[in-house]
Amino acid sequence: MGIKTIGGIYHNSPTAFRPGGRVRSTKTVLEINKPVASAFDDFVFNWDYEQYLLVGGYGSGKSYSIAIKLILKMLEEKRKCLVVRQVFGTMRDSCFSLICEVLDSMGLLTTDRSQFGPYKCKVLATKSSMGFQFPNGSEIIFKGMDNPEKVKSINGISIVWIEEASEVKFSAYEELLGRLRTPDVSMHFILSCNPVSKNNWIYRHFFASLDDKGIEHPIVDEQKLYENGCLVHDGVYYHHSTPSDNPWLPPKYLARLNRIKEYDVDLYMVARWGQFGANGVKVLPQLRVVRRGMPEQHIREHIRRLGYESMYFGFDFGFEESFNAVISMSVDIEKQELIVWDEVYMNHVTDPDFAALPEMQRVKERVLKCREAGANKSIVCDSAEPKAIQYYRQIGFPVRAANKFAGSRLESTRKVKRFQRIYVMPECTNTIRELKDLTYATAKNGDIVHDQFSIDPHSFSAIWYALDQVTVADLKDRKYYSKKGK
């Protein structure tokens, strides 16, 4: 058991499994004993390369280990680190929250400025603007690629962490590589993601490229990476992990991942084994059309048992080429199931004529019955049409606008994909037509565009709006580390 020393951070050898360290200031010495999963031990203390690519399954500990790596570097040297995701609005509950958790487990976190200063060891978290300030002048800041102009104007960055890198566009990645340079200091780019698809730019840039004729040219053998867990090629540090590499992962979580194989084999290979596959091409591989007869009767009985509180309603507006689409559905949060059981779908119709349809009157009565039963339900509409929403409200429809924000298309799509099963009743023919074989759009270079599709699926948009205030558990976003470092 030797001692590995990295710039003042004193670290037990990998075989000890409990790296420890000491952070010094002129007046204070703080002991740190932070457990690190052995699969990430070398990565946490390795700064020999400019680019680090971490791919792996859900809950494998990638993001947590990156947070530890960044914190130790910020303590060791005066650095400015930029953390980016495609959608800025997702930062607070993901990367920012995770770094807060790790700092807290180290005894370093504070939100009180009186505990922060050059002779103190606390790291100041500013929740309003989302950032971290270290006693030695280091900083961690957060930006979203949904507003790339703000990223371009940042100076002094020497470390970049791109979380969910597969969702960031390749052009944005190239922009970061080209623009962010700080003189006289080493640059480091850390990319982390689940290996969703071989059509994604992550695979095409780091594992196998395609030439103009569509012929594939290997860069790195992915199977060797799966076997070895770590390799270096052309100056890039590759790291692969699975949920089995996280010693703090509960057995029940692993069992849930294993059950994915029962309804989505492609997602199972991504989530459980962290391997590239076909998942991400088909948007909703878990969608099932309910068969007539007994299966349909069982589903309808399940809808009845779920009751009014589990009903949701969405409305996507259209007229000329697009369609009005109104979806009625039920959600079983416990089983993570979505059931679409009614649709109204039509174009080339004015709002007065559409509102007068018997089908729309039934939707109106249905929502009002929910309210009479104590379930505060509304028909949630596309907020881009405030005049239409106001019209329907004036004639007695219980409607409201959906909460839309920069990147909401992507986040809404991800929310729907979190359902383990999506059932569509056989009479919802337009929903079936649009969603059964819905695929992602691709850019000219072959990259998947995760918030655009092969068609304009109006029923999908209506489902987004209906789920406006529904929280669907995301397996891979859950953390299983205690405040003591577990």
Read off the pLDDT of residues 13-33 as tens digits, 9 standing for 90 and up. 332 233 444 444 334 455 677
| pLDDT, tens only, 199-229 | 688 998 999 987 544 457 899 999 999 999 9
Q: Tell me what pLDDT residue 18 has.
A: 35
Q: Would the pLDDT of 440 be above 60?
A: yes
C-alpha angle 336-341-345 in degrees, rounded to nearest 5: 125
For 27-81, give the secondary structure using H, E and C: CCEEEEECCCCHHHHHHHHCCCCCEEEEEECCCCCHHHHHHHHHHHHHHHCCCEE
For 347, counting Cβ atoms within 10 Å of its Cβ (0-12 exposed, 13-18 middle, 19+ buried), the class is middle
CA distance 91 to 76: 25
User: What is the DSSP track for 239-298?
Assistant: EEE-GGG-TT--HHHHHHHHHGGGT-HHHHHHHTT----STTSBS-TTEEEPPTTHHHHH
Q: 256-296 pLDDT, tens per residue? A: 999 988 877 777 888 999 998 654 468 998 999 998 888 89
CA–CA separation, 122 and 258 (whole Å): 41
Q: For the chain, list the domains and their CATH numbers.
A: 28-251 (3.40.50.300), 287-473 (3.30.420.280)
Share of the chain above pLDDT 70, in %: 86
Instruction: Find, among 10, 84, 70, the residue nearest to 40 by Cα.
Output: 70
- Encoding tokens for residue 324? 């009005």
Q: What is the mean pLDDT of the chain?
A: 85
Longest CA pairwise span in the chain (Å): 79
CB atoms within 10 A of CB 48: 11
- For 76-93, write each residue's pLDDT tens digit: 899 999 999 988 888 888
End-to-end CA distance of the chain: 23
In the structure, what pLDDT confidence band is assigned to residue 146 with cuts at 50, 70 and 90?
confident
pLDDT at 197 over 90: no
